[in-house]
Amino acid sequence: MNLHTLRLSARIFASGWTQFACRMRHAHLHVAVLVLVLAACAELPRGAQQSAAVASAHPLATAAGKTILERGGNAFDAAVAVAAALAVVEPYSSGLGGGGFFLLHRASDGREIMIDARETAPAGVKDSDYFDSQGRPIPGATTRGGTSSAIPGTPAGLTHLANRYGKLPLAMSLAPAIRLAHEGFAVDVRYARIAKLRESFLQSGTGTAVFLADGKAPEPGYVLRQAALAQTLERLARFGNAGFYEGAVASALVETVRQRGGSWTTEDLRAYKVVEREPVRFTYRGATITTAALPSAGGIALAQTLGMLERFPPGAVGSAPTDHLVVEALRRAFHDRARYLADPDFVAIPVKELVSRDYARKKSADIDAAHATRSEALGDIDSARVESHHTTHLSIVDAEGNRVAATLTINLLFGSGIVPAGTGVLLNNEMDDFSLRADVPNAFELRGGLANRIEPRKRPLSSMTPTFVEDEKGVLVLGAPGGSRIVSQVLLAILEYLRNAEVDLERLVGMPRYHHQFWPDRVEIEPDSYPSEWRAALAGRGHEIREARRAWGNMQMVFKSKDGGVARAASDPRGDGVAWY
């Protein structure tokens, strides 16, 4: 281990240890964590003047990205490798059974595009899958079992990214993930904790015993092998989309989903297509921001909140007068989300108008610096639903200046709880991101309008917000999981990045978070995050403050400076990810 490695280890150790220590009850787990952290860092020595960087939620996924860059791959190949590795080592968050968005910047021609690999509702969806004969929502219909899963997009996203933008063959970029699935990997404390949390869900799911050790949540250090997943990844590597969306894998997926009450057909899988979409692009106080397009609501929410805030003098996140304004902007942006936003291929949405300065001025005209607006005063929404608790983000820049910000998910922890036999593919429960009815909040307590109702082949509205920020300092690539709280996380980080001349990535990924989403009408804060004077100052303006039981998010960030092109990276101390640069 060289000096740089030691320094990196110490830094990660310092930022992560306090959190680990708070979470851990047993001393032997501390030792296990220490060993895992040091092992991960030993694999990832830090370059003195590195021009490439990778940040992901797991050291083995970051290592896969680094390997691919070292073998001559570009940021797009590395993103394939990292995303595929995350599918293996973080199966509760993302995977081949899910979907997501890849935001790309290609250095050679400046092309910027979002690959929309979001899942789609099967063609055979019907109201009776989700409502009983009295018209009441069926509990769990969108969160577990066959009716909760939408047709996966991630496999098609990976093949598209590799074939259209990568330099290396898909098989080469998938190789690290195949090895991890085949040979197994030692589960970390995070895996053990999440498996424990979802133990009974995994015990009662279909094929989900693969994530347990003899029917129980494994201890850290247990070697998890996923032979069937390795085989599916190999098929994808050899046959491209046909290896997943046709043939034996497709038939197995359809058969199991139908047995568990869903309506999938092999035609649904064959028909799946990624869509290249123009990202949302806007400027804020001179910086250019490029971010997610619909069917994510995240980019529009970011444009709207920043547009509203631009009217006020800039202030520090963490100072009550500024935070009050941020909350008011979030309240208004989430109100629009609930009313208007949905899959743009199904619903006409005036995006240009919604993100315009004119609209921001109108929408923020009634923000009162001294008093909170009641959400109900903004007007009702016509119908609704929301997001959930696991997902992953990766950020990459390479030496050529290519960039990727990708947020990928299977929605809630361990998705629908279905792993069709012989595939190793854990299916998503993304149907929960549709709006069943305005008065029925989803797992993220989001409510939404008719625009986002379930329809055949439609993509559910998302909050995932992979983003690039360019200013005179350089370019920041960022994103995070956290359902509806993704938007506020990215917003707070951008506000602080732009306010400071110094770029302190560790501070940006670690800073305490707050959130507002129109409904419920309250400001949510992370535990032990804001002092009593701050709370009193917000309460004095009429806000209800609610301290959440846990911190949220797992932000992954890379930065490349304008002068010199030096790359750096940081992983959220709330997670166990590792940044390499």
Residue 222 or 552: which CB sits closer to ligand DON? 552
Residue 149 or 388: which CB sits closer to ligand DON? 388
CB of 321 to ligand DON, least distance (A): 30
Nearest to 101 by CA among 279, 352, 301, 229: 279
3-state secondary structure 337-403: HHHHCCCCCCCCCCHHHHCCHHHHHHHHCCCECCECCCHHHHCCCCCCCCCCCCEEEEEEECCCCCE
User: Alpha helices, DSSP H only, in 278-356?
Assistant: 298-309, 320-340, 351-354
Asked whether 413 and 92 are in contact (CB, 8 A), the reply is yes
Alpha-carbon distances of 165 from 75, 78, 113, 409, 532, rounded to whole Å: 9, 11, 11, 22, 50
Residues making contact with ligand DON (CB under 6 A): 387-391, 409, 411, 430, 433, 462-464, 481-483, 486
Residues ≥6 apart with Cβ < 8 Å to 51: 398, 399, 560, 565, 566, 567
First to last CA, the chain: 16
Residue 40 or 487: which CB sits closer to ligand DON? 487
CB of 483 to ligand DON, least distance (A): 4
CB of 296 to ligand DON, least distance (A): 7
CB of 297 to ligand DON, least distance (A): 8
Out of 391, 407, 423, 467, pick the active-site residue. Answer: 391
CB of 178 to ligand DON, least distance (A): 26
Active site residue 391: yes
Residue 295 or 401: which CB sits closer to ligand DON? 295
Residue 474 or 481: which CB sits closer to ligand DON? 481
Phi-psi region of 22 (alpha: psi -120 to 50; beta: other; left: phi over 0): alpha
The span from the CA of 341 to the CA of 304, in Å, is 13
CB of 391 to ligand DON, least distance (A): 3
Alpha-carbon distances of 11 from 41, 49, 332, rounded to whole Å: 10, 18, 38
The span from the CA of 65 to the CA of 61, in Å, is 6
Active-site residue set: 391
